[in-house]
Structure 1
């Protein structure tokens, strides 16, 4: 695989976590502070902050400081187009993705498959 796929791999990896995806979906409806996200998602502030930082580092969300608070929003509206396309694809494929032995809903939570993919990428270089 060529290095040209690396940005796409990073994009999809940044969206592969359920919490980050929930944050993106929430921000599609308007900006929010970490405190708002904590209340809506029912998660610890440190967890939400870490996921928001990841999305910010990937340039998927931006922060707008206002006094001592930061209001986060989606950096690019195209992200919602991508998610809408993903929903269309999921509707067309039915349960195929959910049944995937590596990444489906019943897949093991360890990173053995991710490590194997990373090892094969490194050996191809």
Structure 2
């Protein structure tokens, strides 16, 4: 297995470190969507969502597909999809501990 640089790991994990980015990943986990569809689903604003999409793309978690004037976003591949599913599986087990964690800084 190839050893990954610590800074690269941190940049990758940064993609998961904001509520809006997690909402976006959940929103497009099963089906690709345009920015407008994501904004509508999340009841967010387009500028904010676009910034978070750029972060997710930069972290390698999502890709965009141009179709005419629209860009459709989806999770990068099955590995990312599986990772998102695994987060939910692990959280089912540890959610009470996480909910009580006093170390969380917003």
Determine the structure 2 residue equivalent to 1:22. Answer: 23
Determine the structure 1 residue equivalent to 2:90. Answer: 89
Instruction: Give yes or no for contact 2:14–2:59 (8 Å, CA) kept in 1.
Output: no
Quote the Cα distance in structure 2 between the aligned partners of 1:35 and 1:43.
10
Determine the structure 2 residue equivalent to 1:116. Answer: none
Larger Rg: 1
Total equivalences in the alignment: 103
Structure 2 residues without counterparts, runs of 5 or longer = none
TM-score, length of structure 2 as denominator length: 0.85
TM-score, length of structure 1 as denominator length: 0.74
Q: CA deviation at 1:43?
A: 0.5
Q: CA deviation at 1:8?
A: 2.5
Structure 1 residues without counterparts, runs of 5 or longer = 110-125
Q: CA deviation at 1:6?
A: 2.6
Alignment RMSD = 1.6
Residues 44-79 of structure 1: CA deviation (Å, up to 9, x unaligned): 100110111111111211111111111111112211
Over 3 Å off, 4+ runs: none
Between the two structures, name the one with larger relative contact order (CA 8 Å, sep ≥ 6).
2
